[in-house]
Amino acid sequence: MTSQGPISLRPEHPQYRALSQLVSDFDFEVVGQVDGVEVSGVSLSSSSVEPGDLYIGMPGVRAHGASYTAQARERGAVAVLTNEAGRELAEASGLPILVVAEPRAVLGHVAAWIYRTAEEPPTLFGVTGTNGKTSAVYLLNGILGQLGIVSGLSSTAERRIGDIAVTSSLTTPEASELHALLARMRESEVRAVAIEVSAQALTRHRVDGIVFDVVGFTNLSHDHLDDYADFDEYFAAKRALFEPERARRGVVTVDSEWGRRLTQESRIPLATLTTVDGVEADWRVTMLAESSTSTTFRLEGPEDRVLVTSVPLLGWFMAANAALAIVMLVESGIEFDMIAQVLERDGGIDAYIPGRAERISGDRGPVVYIDYGHSPDAFLNTLEAIRTVTDGKIIMLFGADGDRDTTKRVDMGAIAARGSDIVVVTDFHPRSEDPASIRKVLIDAAREAVPGREVHEVADPREAFRAALALAGDGDVILYAGPGHEDYHEVAGVKLPYSAREDSKQALREAGWL
């Protein structure tokens, strides 16, 4: 049985536009008759086509999307946009065909045109970086809510408009879905939107057709080197967000050399932020207190602006993400004093971030955190944060993605061993790879980094958590890193239902801790 896939949020009251005008505005080559045809939506998948859609037939790994044009027509597609190779595949459908060299390269702008998302847009915030993107987006959304501003978000975990949410499949949705989401938000009178922007989203045109009001940069660390040749190429992908055609203003965390480099190479006005003593920046974050459930910090900026507040999350890095969110709001034009007042009124930032250092345990027994971190830097930061607030043992439970960046696995295993007292290695989305071979790399790296470290290998994640729980006592901590908010476990191309959060809670109940 596979888990239910995500759905997209579209306008409830779509607006129709003349296909002939789209052809004229974009100067597309046309096969067939477009006069009198009206289009109201965009779809990349024939199975998700709705009546009035322009179907996008793009070349794929296994098949060309244009091969499914007949199915798209059956579901109500009124035209297809494809490349030269797709033209021949789509002709038998009888639909008008718009031909372009690279369909993906025009998709965002076409979707923006069809959904009219450039007309009176909300304030748009975009956050990029290796770690912290999701947290910053939720923190932006939380503070906007405290300010009384109707807002929405798009994150790795979900797409959300008020109380309406759907599960995400990509960190940043395809441009067709993203512009449909923005159009739906317009119907809901959303005034501000926070969007998580991955490097892949930038290189694969997923945020084309959008100009952000303010963009933020968290950090850059080891990840996604299966998609990018090296760190320079990975950095260049993220730097593209800081171009005038992408954004009007930016906020950059300059704790690392990559942040400082970005300030030199950015082509938009910037504000800078740091948590590190001795680093020059416009805004400075100082940690004041840390506990297992919250972090208190001071934010100081230009013109003697100061606020002290807290974020209901573990770790200095969550305070840094919160500070980034606050400065981005200030850069958007919201008064700093107004933000300070509402945070003081509410006793801190009011935000829930699914699966990010999320404590799922009760007041007694081991403390259990479920975390989405699956990179060496994420492991390091979270383990260090836990160590500062616990006197007990730290048990680290984790695995590594199959069919993803293999170069980070040794560092993950080594950091886990150095930062914890007991290591439990399990399977985490092995996909098409041999799970045992992935586990072996992690285990060997842990044992080499800390000879004598207690290491357990338990393939099944359900059994692995219960094994970790059996090793823990009252006051100990279990960090289950990797699955976070996700509700599936991917093995050999099949997404099996599995929620680390729900299964771990069940195990705690079985053990009498909940």
Q: What is the pLDDT of residues 278-298, one digit of tens each?
A: 999 999 999 999 998 899 999
What is the phi/psi pair of residue 426, to 5°?
-135, -175
The answer to whether the CB of 464 falls within 8 A of the CB of 424 is: yes
Q: Extract the tokens encoding 379.
A: 């492991």
Q: Where are the alpha helices (DSSP H) in 315-408?
A: 316-331, 336-346, 376-389
The answer to whether the CB of 374 falls within 8 A of the CB of 479 is: no
Residue with tokens 């290491």: 455
Q: Which CATH superfamily is domain 123-346 in?
A: Mur-like, catalytic domain (3.40.1190.10)
Specify the 3-state DSSP secondary structure of 337: helix
What pLDDT is stored for residue 228 in this prediction?
66
User: Residue 82's beta-bridge partner residues?
Assistant: 57, 99
As a whole number of angstroms, the distance between CA 392 and CA 87 comes to 64
* 250 alpha carbon, distance to own chain's centre: 18
pLDDT tens-digit readout, 18-75: 999 999 999 999 999 999 999 999 999 999 999 999 999 999 988 999 999 999 999 9
**Whether the model pTM is above 0.85:** yes
What pLDDT is stored for residue 165 in this prediction?
84
Q: Is 18 exposed, middle or buried (0-12, 13-18, 19+ CB in 10 A)?
A: middle
Specify the 3-state DSSP secondary structure of 234: helix
Architecture label for domain 17-115: 3-Layer(aba) Sandwich (3.40)
Q: Which CATH superfamily is domain 358-510 in?
A: Mur ligase, C-terminal domain (3.90.190.20)
What pLDDT is stored for residue 84 in this prediction?
96
- Tell which residue, 339, 289, 356, has the closest CA to residue 132: 356
User: Residue 398's beta-bridge partner residues?
Assistant: 425, 481
The answer to whether the CB of 220 falls within 8 A of the CB of 229 is: no
What's the half-sphere exposure (Cβ side, CA atoms, 13 Å) at 325? 34
As a whole number of angstroms, the distance between CA 301 and CA 309 comes to 14
What is the phi/psi pair of residue 407, to 5°?
-70, -15
Range 281-297 burial, b when 16+ CB lie within 10 A, else e = bbbbbeeeebebebbbb
What pairing do the DSSP bridges indicate for beta strands 367-371 and 295-301? unpaired
What pLDDT is stored for residue 4 in this prediction?
37
Q: Extract the tokens encoding 363.
A: 């007041």
Q: How many Å from the N-terminal Cα to the C-terminal Cα in the chain?
A: 29
**Domain boundary assignment for the chain:** 17-115, 123-346, 358-510
* 134 alpha carbon, distance to own chain's centre: 5
Residue with tokens 């441009």: 175
pLDDT < 70 stretches in the chain: 1-7, 222-228
- Residue 18's identity, in one-letter code, is A
